[in-house]
Chain A
Amino acid sequence: MPSIKTLAQREEAGVRFTSGHTLCAGCAEPLVVRAVLNAIEGPVVAASPTGCLEVATSRFPGTAWNVPWVHVAFENAAAVISGVEAAYKALTKTGAVKRRIRFVVFGGDGGTYDIGLQALSGALERGHDFLYVCLNNEAYMNTGVQRSSATPRCASATTSPVGEEIPGKPQDRKDLTEIVVAHHVPYAGQAAVSNLVDLANKVERAMKYEGPKFLNVLTTCPLGWRTPRDSAITQAKLAVETRYWPLYEVIEGVYKINYKPKENVPVEEWLKTQGRFRHLFRNPNGKELIAEFQASVDQHWNELLRKEKCLSGAESQG
């Protein structure tokens, strides 16, 4: 398992993602990118769909990527990496490429949950050997905090604003991780930017498998969540502690929840720290909305507990 010192040694030996990018001060995305790239041993080629990460890291004539990297459009990163991986297979056959190369996509929730979902599903079904990392900051941050299907209920986004009639986003977020699990890929999991060593360990475990691998990483956006500039880690940590964002993995169909909070911290504790939910604490129906939010979190968590119980390694062997 890569320790923080191991990761640091690898970065000192060869930095894979450099400074000089123009992501916001306090953006959590580079933390995930560096942890993932440093957790992969040997050569790696990366791809990104359009989004904050892509725009802010690749302004011509510069780039923060110090591994081979490609961007094509918003909805097709999984198809692009399919092509890269197919090229690798073909050129390995001809002998033109001789080294083992790994492939990874870093996409936002817009490019993964929404516009890129079809391409992702196709690539998962075809079984390409790659890791897809969703940097999930729960809205279209690059275009100005519009709602996505990853945006939680009640969150105020610019296309799900708080209005006189409708208090933020009416719908629950999509459970993309489970959609990926339904493709029967060898590895799928959730991580958070607050638990970077856990993330690195997950990457290492995932990369042992040939075929498609997926990690959904809660990646705080202080701008879009309307929280202080230095709050990315504490925000993600609270999301994990309140069970809003379970850390879990599904390896060859076996569920494992990596962290079960000992305290029962209500999700309200997380909601009240963010500007996007501020209205819930002013709205006369706020208590009810928060209770519904809590019920949704509980339902998801309990579902996960049941899945872990039913689809545990022991069960499958028994």
Chain B
Amino acid sequence: MADELKGWKDLPLGGVVPGGAARELNKTGSWRAERPIWNEEKCIQCFQCWLHCPDDSIVLTAGKMTGIDYDHCKGCGLCAAICPKDALEMVPEREGTCAK
């Protein structure tokens, strides 16, 4: 990591950074102790999980919920708590498997 850090002559004026740069830099999925597993069959596409995800990790594709961004999902469980159809289940990370 240290050798990726830039020297002072290569830094942007005043520490200004381009919008949205954190997404690539910080893969907060590594924080997760529990992972949400999505059951597509139970899902009614109500988007409550999307609305209540603090980490923008409910993936929408062409107006449909299509999965979970495990690179950034911190495993907080808000999606599972809000889901009206129990289509999201929190499982311990070690035993978890990707829904896809």
Residues of A within 8 A of B (CB): 4-5, 7-9, 11-12, 15, 17-23, 25-31, 34-35, 57-69, 196-197, 229-234
Contact = CB atoms under 8 A, between A and B. Distances in A.
Given A20-B26, A35-B51, A232 B78 contact: yes
9 contacts: A18-B20, A26-B76, A27-B54, A30-B56, A31-B54, A59-B26, A61-B25, A63-B22, A65-B20
Nearest to A231: B81
A84 B30 CA distance: 37
Contacts of B60: 8, 11-12
B51 A4 contact: yes
Contacts of B48: 4
A297 B29 CA distance: 40
Given A4-B46, A60-B17, A62-B26, 9 more contacts: A8-B50, A18-B20, A20-B24, A20-B28, A25-B32, A31-B51, A230-B78, A230-B80, A230-B90
A231 B50 CA distance: 16
A68 B18 CA distance: 9
B54 to A, nearest CB: 4
Nearest to A193: B52
Max chain B C-beta neighbours (<10 A), residue from A12, A25, A59, A64: A25
Tell me which of B25, B63, B69 has the highest count of chain A C-beta atoms within 10 A of its own C-beta. Answer: B25
Given A4-B46, A230-B81, A15 B56 contact: yes
A230 B80 CA distance: 8
Nearest to A197: B51
B54 A62 contact: no
A26 B78 contact: yes
B19 A67 contact: yes
Nearest to A234: B81
Contacts of A9: 63
A296 to B, nearest CB: 29
Give the interface size bracket for B toward A: 35 or more
Contact of B76 (A12, A35, A229): A229
B15 interface: yes
B21 A62 contact: yes
A18 B56 contact: yes
A229 to B, nearest CB: 5
A136 to B, nearest CB: 17
A5 B55 CA distance: 18
A25 B63 contact: no
B38 to A, nearest CB: 16
A65 B23 CA distance: 10
Interface string B42-73: 00001110111111110010110000010110
Nearest to B80: A230
Contact of A61 (B17, B53, B62, B90): B17
B20 to A, nearest CB: 4
Contact of A59 (B22, B51, B90): B22
Contact of A20 (B12, B23, B62, B90): B23
A64 B20 contact: yes
A8 B65 CA distance: 10
Nearest to A19: B72
Contacts of B57: 19
A63 B21 contact: yes
Contacts of A232: 78
Nearest to B58: A8
Contacts of B77: 26, 229-230
A20 B31 CA distance: 11
A196 B57 CA distance: 17
A230 B51 contact: no
A58 B15 CA distance: 10
A48 to B, nearest CB: 14
A260 to B, nearest CB: 23
A293 to B, nearest CB: 26
